[in-house]
Amino acid sequence: MASCRSGSDQQIRDLPAGTYKLVVSGRAGTYAFNSMWEVPAPQSFTLAAPYSISNGVPTTGAGNLETAASIDEYTLVTTTTKTWYMDWGTCQNSFYFNWELRTEAGSKFTNGMCNDQQIKDLPAGTYKLVVSGQGGTYALNNIS
C-alpha cells in the first residue's frame, strides 16, 4: 500500500479497519521503525484581539503541536481591511513549522513559517489560521 524513502516519516490516510502486514525489504542492513500511531484530529481555537498564541493560551492545546502530525486551527474575525503584522515568537522545530491563513470558504490567503510577516490588505472577514509542523510548542506574540 505504501512505501517509504530512507528516514522519512509518512502519514497513511484513511486506512480502513483491518489486519495488515508490514513488509520490509531492500538492501541488506539494519533499520528502525520508531512507532506508528493514530493521527489526532485537529484542535480548534478562537482568537480574539490582539490574537496572541502561546503554550496553553488561549486555552489548553493551543501553542503546542503535541505530535509530529498535530494541527492547530485558530478562527479569527477581522472587521476592516488592513495590513497585518504577524509577530511570531519561538517555535520549536522551527525548520518544519508552517502556518496557513485560510478564508472562511477554506481557500488559502497566504502562508508562512516561523518568521514575522506582513499580510497586505487582508479584507474584513472570518479566517482560519492553520498551524502544523513536526511537533513542539510555538508562540505568536500578536497580530497587529
List of residues contacting Ca ion (CB under 5 A)? 43, 61, 64, 72
Closest to 109 measured CA to CA, from 96, 126, 134, 95: 126
Q: Which is nearer to Ca ion, 65 or 101 (CB)?
A: 65
Q: Which is nearer to Ca ion, 122 or 131 (CB)?
A: 131
Least Å distance, CB 34 to Ca ion, is: 21
Least Å distance, CB 114 to Ca ion, is: 16
For residues 63 and 56, what is the distance between their CA atoms, to the nearest angstrom?
Answer: 6
Closest to 113 measured CA to CA, from 100, 127, 103: 100
Q: Which is nearer to Ca ion, 43 or 117 (CB)?
A: 43
How far lies 90's CA from each of 9, 29, 106, 117, 140, in Å? 24, 39, 27, 14, 8
Q: Which is nearer to Ca ion, 43 or 52 (CB)?
A: 43
Least Å distance, CB 70 to Ca ion, is: 5
Tell me the residue number closest to Ca ion, measured at CB. 61
Least Å distance, CB 72 to Ca ion, is: 4
Enter the C-alpha cell of residue 108.
Answer: 488559502
Enter the C-alpha cell of residue 65.
Answer: 503541536
Amino acid letter, residue 119: I
